[in-house]
Chain A
Amino acid sequence: MSGFGGVLPWARRTIVEQEKWLSSEEFSSMLGICQIVPGPNIVNLAVCVGSRFCGIPGAIAGVFGILTGPVTLVLILAMLYEHFSYLPIVQGMLRGISAVGVGLIASTGFKMMRTELNYPPMLIVVIFILLAACYFHLGLGWVVLLASPLALYFAWRKVNKT
């Protein structure tokens, strides 16, 4: 709920440091898996942590636990938006936030790219995806479908090289 700018640091503090549900290593490897599979990362994490303790009910409880608070709050914001979106001040504020938000997403991407720089051929996959999505405007499903074999091929080369 108090996850400004992403919930992950907060989730780590609660799960590892306060409640001691998982060790730091367990949390990291779980997070690693949750970030590579598709879907909302934090929801994936909630499923992993929840199911670890109570199986399916735990997973469901985890997902609802992580979503209920933020969803309620964002709906309150949405209602405020309905009433005040005509104000130029509000419009300006939202434009500023969007511009920063886009920047934050891009910088997440660049930070993730640092690990790819260890093995530069992997950047071919990144460039391929950028071209397919931004230049040829292929749908996301197609992009993933076409890029996956390429990504697996270079991943295989990378593993065998190191």
Chain B
Amino acid sequence: MSVLISLFLKISAFSLVAFGGVNALLPVLYDLSVNQEHWISPQTFADYFAIAQAAPGPNLMTVTLIGWNVGGVLGAALATLAIAWPSSIMIYFLQGYIFAIQNKQRQKMIQYAAGALAVGLVLAAAWQISLQVNQSLAAYILTIVTITITFFTRWHPLYLVAAGAACGLLGLI
């Protein structure tokens, strides 16, 4: 029981610093679940990350899967709620306030500042997570190819995920 409470509280604490969404949180999640609490192994984290990427739905599913590993269906529900409730309550009260800001300049300033934070955190997360989940040179190459493709085409991400799965099936990664 105490492990579930700890799961809920620790993940809740992340919700309010997740500028840029859950993707920005991935390195911290890794640190918490693998290094600090030893809930899952590095390999399981990488696999959960892959499952969450491949499954339809919001990208917070890595959190759900960690919760599932810790405490089954209840753990999954608690982890998902934990990542969602603090920011939900904040946006509920904040939305009226932000819409009400008449001063366009101040509105823009908040927007620019939060935007820059999000960019930094998402890029930092991508860097740190790539060091954890990519275990071979081929995996890094696949990551770089993915970035390149998204720069020059408008392919749906699902095709890229499927292509990644196919490369893995063929034993290339």
- Seen from chain A, the residues whose Cβ lies within 8 Å of a Cβ on chain B are 1-7, 29-30, 32-44, 47-48, 51, 56, 59, 63, 66-67, 69-71, 73-75, 77-78, 81, 85, 88-89, 91-113, 115-116, 119, 122, 125-130, 133-134, 139-141, 143-144, 147-148, 151-152, 154-156, 158-160
Number of A-B contacts (CB under 8 A): 350
The answer on a CB contact under 8 Å between A39 and B108 is no
> What B residues does A42 contact at CB under 8 A?
58
Interface: B4 (CB within 8 A): no
Min CB–CB distance B29 → chain A (angstroms): 10
Complex partner residue of B142 from A3, A7, A103, A130, CB under 8 angstroms: A103
> What B residues does A101 contact at CB under 8 A?
49-50, 52-53, 133, 161, 164
In the A-B complex, the 5 residue pairs with the closest CB atoms: A39-B87, A70-B57, A103-B146, A96-B168, A129-B120
- Give A89 to B112 CA distance when docked, in angstroms: 45
Given contacts A97-B53, A115-B115, A125-B117, 9 further A-B contacts (CB under 8 A): A33-B98, A44-B87, A47-B95, A93-B50, A104-B161, A116-B115, A127-B120, A129-B120, A140-B27
The answer on a CB contact under 8 Å between B150 and A104 is yes
- Give A88 to B134 CA distance when docked, in angstroms: 16
The answer on a CB contact under 8 Å between B147 and A107 is yes
